[in-house]
Amino acid sequence: MKQLIIINGPNLNLLGKREPEMYGNETFEDYLKTLQSKFKDINIDYYQSNIEGELIDKLQDIGFSYDGIILNAAAYTHTSVGIGDAVKAINTPVVEVHISNTFSREEFRHQSYISPHTKGVILGFGLLSYDLAIESFIL
C-alpha cells in the first residue's frame, strides 16, 4: 500500500476557526477523515506543527521511506530556507499545497522557498488542493 503523509505548518491547526472566508469552515481533522475514506487504497498519515524545527525533523524522519509528502508549510513557505533545504535533502517526492491562491494575495506570499525542490505545486482550490495532490501520487 502506498504510504503518504500530509504535513501542515503553522496556524493550520486552526482551520475551521481561522479566517473562514479564506480557509473554509471545516477542521482539518474532519477533512482528513473524508480523504482517508475517499482514498481507501492509500495510507495517509497526518502531522501538524507550528514549529519550524519540528517540521524539519518530521521531513527528515519520513523523507527516506514514504512514497510521497503533501506539504503545506503555511507561512514558513515564504520565509524558511531551512524547510526548503530539508525538502531538497530528502528522497521522497514532495507536492506543495496551499488552500488559498497565494499569487492573488499579498506580494510576500508570492515567494516560496519550497517550490524549487518539489515535484509540483497545487494551490487555490481550497481543501480540494489536498485531494488533487494525493491524486498526483496515484497517476
Residues 6+ apart with CB under 8 A from 110: 102, 103
Tell me, what amino acid is at 73?
A
Strands 42-48 and 2-8: parallel
> Least distance from C-beta 98 to ligand DQA, angstroms?
4
16: cell is 475551521
Which is nearer to ligand DQA, 25 or 65 (by Cβ)? 25
Which is nearer to ligand DQA, 92 or 102 (by Cβ)? 102
Sign of CA dihedral 127, 70, 4, 46: negative
Candidates 99, 114, 122, 134; binder of ligand DQA (CB under 6 A) is 99
Whether residue 23 lies in the annotated active site:
yes
Residue of 31, 66, 76, 98 marked active site: 98
Taking the C-alpha atoms of residue 40 and residue 17, their distance in angstroms, rounded to an integer, is 28
Site map 45..74 versus ligand DQA, x via CB under 6 A: ---------------------------x-x
Give residues in contact with ligand DQA (CB under 6 A).
11, 72, 74-75, 77, 98-100, 102, 109
